[in-house]
Every structure is written in C-alpha cells, then in structure tokens.
Structure 1
Amino acid sequence: MTPHILLVEDDPVSRAFLAAAAEALPARVDAVDTLAAARERIRAGRYDLWLVDANLPDGPGASLLREPGRRDAPALAHTAACEQDTLARLREAGFLDVLVKPLTASALRAAIRRATARTEGGGARQEQAPLWDDARALTALNGQHAHVDALRGLFLEELPGARDAVAAAARAGDADAMRATLHRLRASCGFVGAMRMDAAVAALHAAPDSPEALAEFLAAAQDTLSSR
C-alpha cells in the first residue's frame, strides 16, 4: 500500500525536499506549513504517518499529538536541533522517532518505512529495524569507535535490569514507572545505535498497556542481548 503522509514544515526549501524524498518511496504527501493548516487536514481525512517540524510559527509541533483526529497514526518529528535533551523531550512527548536536519533522502525514507511497517497488517511485525546502527552511534560519539564499543558494553550490562524493571512495572500496572524506565533507556539506545531496542522502547512508551508492544520490547531486548 502507498502510505498517505501529512508533512508539516514551515521552511519552503525543507518542505520541498522532504515531500520529494517521501514521494519517491512512493507515498502520497500532503504538505502544510502551520499547525492550523495541519489541523484542517487532520479533520478532513486520515493519514498513515505524520512528519512534523518540532517548531512551527503557530506553536510546537508536539501539540498536534493531542489532536483527537490522530487515530493512533505514528508521528515522526524533524528538527535542526541536535541537543540530546531536546531530542529526548520530543520522544517523551510521543514522537516515534526524531529526525535531525539536514538528513539524506535515504535516511528519511528508511525512517518512514520503519514507522509505517508498525501499522500494516493490523499491527503485525512486517519489518524489523536492524539491531545496531553503527553510523548513528559513531555520529553521536564523534566518530570514536573505542567509545562506541565501551558504551555498548555498558549498555548491554544495564539492559537486563531495565528489561526486568519494565516487566515488573507491566505486571503491577504501573504505567508511570514503566515510562520512567523507558525514557532513560531511550536516551541510551540513541547513543549506542541500538535501533531495534529504540523502536521497541518508543512503541511501548506510546502504548504501555499494549501486550503486543510489551512482547516486542522483550523480544528486542533478548535479541540485542544475544548479539554480544
């Protein structure tokens, strides 16, 4: 199926680039430049994915995530900011992932494929992200391979405890405790390029009551630990 995408971006050059890159998937793209225009589009029809600029002339892009017309469509943020705390806040707000501009057309299309694969086939797993993204980790750590290796080792040491804490919170029905652990884990995933864990953490954070999201999280943790 050809995904129907809502693109919200106020810069004309960025909007034209993102729209053209997404349409090459192929995809149908409706591009607007304000939150007000996006809300009109949301009321008029349903989308398979939202691509939302983090900062728009009439407010923060994350405010769209509270729209009643969202109907569980996954949303990706895009921003020129690269500070880790800013990216973490956007994920905490409910974005599945955050794309840092400038980005390549291939990186955008890969992110769209990952996001839309989650909703195809009634939520069945259609495509998995790779366990590790070396390029992303090297970018986060200034190209230092030794730092990547060291942090991945530490990440793998800490992962069982985080996994068990999430599972315990799920059994107790404590969504706040679960989200707190997932929030910390999400930042670590980004630093070390743990792509499958990152996707699973984002999905469970967005739907802490979902048995499917919890099962995916536990499976991703097991696969990641088995890669040592």
Structure 2
Amino acid sequence: MNTYHQGNLPRLLLVEDDMTSQGFFQFVLESLPAKVDIADSCASALRLAQAGTYDMWLLDVNLPDGNGANLLRILRERHPRTVALAHTADTSQEIQRTLQQAGFQETLVKPISRDALLKSVRRALAKSAVKADGEVAEAALDWDESAAMNALNGQQAHVRALRELFLSELPSTRDAVSHALEEHDDKTLHAQLHKLQASCGFVGASRLAYAVRQLNHDPASMQARQQFGSAVSALLR
C-alpha cells in the first residue's frame, strides 16, 4: 500500500555514479511512489541540495570527487534534520560503524533487493516524520474540546460520558498494544490502533490520536512508542 498520495510525494536525492546501480535505485524508489533527483558526484549533489529541500538523501559511499561521509557533513551544514542512508558494496562491520558515526541512519549493502530497499526507505521516512513532527506531538492538546463537541453535535453531556468510557477502557487497550508490540503481532497491533484512532476522534484526544498514527506507521520506532506511552499516561493522570 502506498503511504503518500500523488502531489504530496516524498522528494529524494539519490547520489550514485554507477549507471546500472543508479537505474535500479531510481526504478525502485519511484515505485514508492517518490520524486527522485539524481546526482553522480558530490558537486552535482550539492548543486541540487542548494536548489531545494529533500525528505531523504541516499548517498553512495565512494564517489568520483569525494566520499559519502564528507558529503553528508557538508549537506548537514544547511539541512541538519534531513535523514540520510548510505549505500555501498563494502560488507565490513568497520565501514558500517564508521558510517553510523558519520550520521547515516542506515547503511544499505549493494546489491540489495527491491523489497529490502523499499523497507529501509519507508522505515527511514517514517522515523524522519516522527522526529520532524515531535514538537507538534508535544504541543497537541490532551483534550481538544472543539473537536469533541463537533464530533458529538455540541452535546457536552455526551462528551463527558464518552470520555469516561474511553478512559475506563484505555488501560486495557494500552496493555493490548504493548503485548502486540512485544509479540510482534502486527495484525492485532494495527487492529487495536485502528479502533483507538477512531475513539480518539470522538472524544477529542488529539495528542494520543497523533501518537497512535505515528505508532501505526512505524511500530519499530522507539520514539513513536515513547510518544504513545506518554500520551496515554497524560490522559490517565
């Protein structure tokens, strides 16, 4: 299932000098779907980065005029929050550690399968969204009175009654979500989060609704899990 709609596609910068690898990456990345700009050197990558912003950089480790780690350092001077993936044919653990220390979120080892590439890119985009929107999550209201009143046709008594029911069920829902995460039970997890998302909308639990969306999008994200736990705790205080 595609996460993004046409017209709101993630924009990716692919830096790769080998034409065959370049073609493979472009074909797969555009199937996300995504908008993909291509550079074959550090110099061309910097020109593209100066002309616009990207949701992600995918940087080859070895380039004709430099290396991926140095390129990332320069790019981050202007865009410190952009997520970056490295790709290389080097399978050594040393290069993996070096690239992680340089600031890459993940290193892709070539040749890489289509499914593995898509999984890594989607995971990175999701984590980037959680990180970039973290301030939004913290600023969201625990209880959004306007949203709840709109959902229940301005009936304050109904809002109070539904919130009481919501809060009585929230601990068991939280425990079910935690158990599903521990057991890697994606089917149960998404079912629980789907129901909780709807309930949040009815009672105006805006902060928790945001946290549910993030966790549903990337269950492996520790930040998304922490945001979910904090949002639940805030309502149960």
Q: Classify the TM-score, shorter chain.
A: 0.5 to 0.7
Equivalent in 83, 107, 117 of residue 98 of structure 1: 107
Are 2:41 and 1:34 aligned? yes
Q: What is the distance in 1 between the residues matched to 2:119 and 2:72?
A: 22
Are 2:118 and 1:109 aligned? yes
Q: Which runs of 5+ in 1 are unaligned?
A: 134-194, 201-211, 220-228
Q: What is the distance in 2 between the residues matched to 1:50 and 1:29?
A: 10
Task: Report the TM-score, using the length of structure 2 for normalisation.
Answer: 0.53
Instruction: Give 1:4 deviation, angstroms.
Output: 0.2
Q: Which residue of 2 aligns with 1:74?
A: 83
Q: What is the distance in 2 between the residues matched to 1:15 and 1:131?
A: 38
Equivalent in 43, 51, 55 of residue 48 of structure 1: 55
Go from structure 1 to structure 2 and tell me whether the alpha carbon gap of 1:131 and 1:14 turns closer, same or farther (over 3 Å shift).
farther
Q: What is the distance in 2 between the residues matched to 1:56 and 1:29?
A: 19
Go from structure 1 to structure 2 and tell me whether the alpha carbon gap of 1:86 and 1:71 turns closer, same or farther (over 3 Å shift).
closer
SS at match of 1:77: strand
RMSD of aligned alpha carbons = 3.0
Q: Which runs of 5+ in 2 are unaligned?
A: 1-7, 138-180, 185-218, 231-237
How many residue pairs match? The answer is: 140
**Percent sequence identity over aligned pairs:** 41
Counterpart AA for 2:60: D
* Deviation readout 1:8-52 (Å, 9 max, x if unpaired): 000000001001100000000001100000000010000000000
Q: What is the distance in 1 between the residues matched to 2:93 and 2:71?
A: 22
Counterpart AA for 2:51: A
Q: Which residue of 2 aligns with 1:123?
A: 133
Larger Rg belongs to: 2
* Deviation readout 1:138-172 (Å, 9 max, x if unpaired): xxxxxxxxxxxxxxxxxxxxxxxxxxxxxxxxxxx
Q: What is the distance in 1 between the residues matched to 2:90 and 2:18?
A: 15
SS at match of 1:15: helix
Q: Which residue of 1 aligns with 2:98?
A: 89
Are 2:13 and 1:3 aligned? no
SS at match of 1:5: strand
Trace 1:1-228 onto structure 2 (pairs within 5 A). Answer: 1-67=8-74, 68-120=77-129, 122-124=132-134, 196=220
Instruction: Give 1:66 deviation, angstroms.
Output: 1.8
SS at match of 1:51: strand
